[in-house]
Structure 1
């Protein structure tokens, strides 16, 4: 059962309490509606709005509402793929980069060798902000389950067992190995 700890302003042990949980457990993040603001507006009650329009027989209006929402996501994705990062897209992109950088730092400082230096990231969003943000961070590994081994084609195979891979870098002195942080 989950344990709830109330951290108020009078507590000086915030960092110590949080660090112990982060060091001893798996990190999981659920990212949903609102994370890509202001580049993409929050979906809000768009499903109910479209359903009401269909129920009222306004099929054209329902289709137009859905199309406008999808086009907003498509426009943001086109900018991200084309590396046009400015305005609202830049503000959102910078937030994603900061988030991934902080997760990477937390994993890097993990002292528990029994747990992998891995964080699980689940998103309900259809945009590509995480992928582009991971590209912007030097040495950052985002494991999406696809095998990108060299081959004759550009096709990537989905290989679920990739999720369980641990990545290490070795030093030239004393054959030292260090596990690298990975976000899945």
Structure 2
């Protein structure tokens, strides 16, 4: 019998420590298929990468415009709703930070370069009170600079009689974004639309080399490393299997921080061994939890039927949202 994961531990950490999320490509399925769908036999890596980029570009345009004309429009709406519900719940965690002795800031790191998170945040900012920090600075030409992630915003009251830090949600994209564009001075500009030649790191297997050759992407990953090295930090991972070796190495290095606690949620039972292999681990250190769906209460998982009629359970972004919702609202 599989031992159940105790979410009380996660609940305590989520409400008392510095909260970070790492979101991978699995979170945007089925609107955007995984790379393996494009890398079929007889297809070159370059063609597969271009096909994936074109798909992400097309989906991102529909997300921004809010018009879903293609056959996968229903999938796009479904995934966008998942992200929106997820953001709503982690904002509740931010609001509850009023009683914490840690900064009122949640970091979302994502290797995805689609615009689901940006669209979700844009809609929520109309009626939620928080600061969104995407690393940009400027007005007409918003320039990306990792130094901007060190900023905080405070409300000083109408009579200057108090200073209250506003909740901040930071979005850090170490592999680029469909709305990032490089100018002639080698700055990265954050646009309000999908650009023709976006600044992204394609999944070529050389992501680490490309990332460290590019100062902008190196800076984004440096923010990731610094956040995990801080005391009282927590990292929750979803939709990410650590095939990116440079990020796997960073996590391994960060696990030496005894105050860091990492929770990696697997989509299916078979993913646990894949993740441990990608992390070059034979077993989990004390501060690393790799959680399979069968270790969770059934209400936090999705039930599926295999071809032979047997049941199997999966865990995706919507399931994580439900789990965190209980963390957020339970006393």
Shorter-chain TM-score: what band?
0.7 to 0.9
- Measure, in 2, the Cα distance between the counterparts of 1:174 and 1:163: 26
Distance change >3 Å, CA 66–CA 20, structure 1 → 2: closer
Deviation digits for residues 110-151 of structure 1 (CA, Å, limit 9, x no counterpart): 1123x2111111111110111111101033432111113x4x
Deviation digits for residues 42-79 of structure 1 (CA, Å, limit 9, x no counterpart): 223755x4xx64xxxx65xx554443322211110111
Consecutive aligned runs of 4 or more in structure 1 exceeding 6 Å deviation: none
- Residue 84 of structure 1 deviates from its aligned partner by 2.1
- Measure, in 2, the Cα distance between the counterparts of 1:172 and 1:123: 37
2:81 aligns with one of 78, 94, 98? 94
Structure 1 counterpart of 2:52: 69
- Measure, in 2, the Cα distance between the counterparts of 1:126 and 1:174: 41
- Measure, in 2, the Cα distance between the counterparts of 1:155 and 1:173: 34
2:32 aligns with one of 27, 40, 59? 40
> What is the TM-score when the length of structure 2 is the normalising length?
0.43
- Measure, in 2, the Cα distance between the counterparts of 1:68 and 1:160: 30
Contact 2:137 2:143 in 1 (8 A): yes
Partner SS state of residue 162, structure 1: helix
Distance change >3 Å, CA 23–CA 34, structure 1 → 2: same
CA RMSD of aligned residues (A): 2.6
> What is the TM-score when the length of structure 1 is the normalising length?
0.73
- Measure, in 1, the Cα distance between the counterparts of 2:66 and 2:37: 30
Structure with more relative contact order (C-alpha pairs < 8 Å, separation 6 or more): 1
- Measure, in 2, the Cα distance between the counterparts of 1:43 and 1:141: 33
The total of aligned residue pairs comes to: 159
- Measure, in 1, the Cα distance between the counterparts of 2:78 and 2:37: 24
Q: Which runs of 5+ in 1 are unaligned?
A: 8-13
Contact 1:116 1:166 in 2 (8 A): no
1:161 is aligned to 2:126: no
Distance change >3 Å, CA 94–CA 140, structure 1 → 2: farther
Structure 1 counterpart of 2:16: 24
Contact 1:38 1:92 in 2 (8 A): yes
Structure 2 counterpart of 1:130: 117
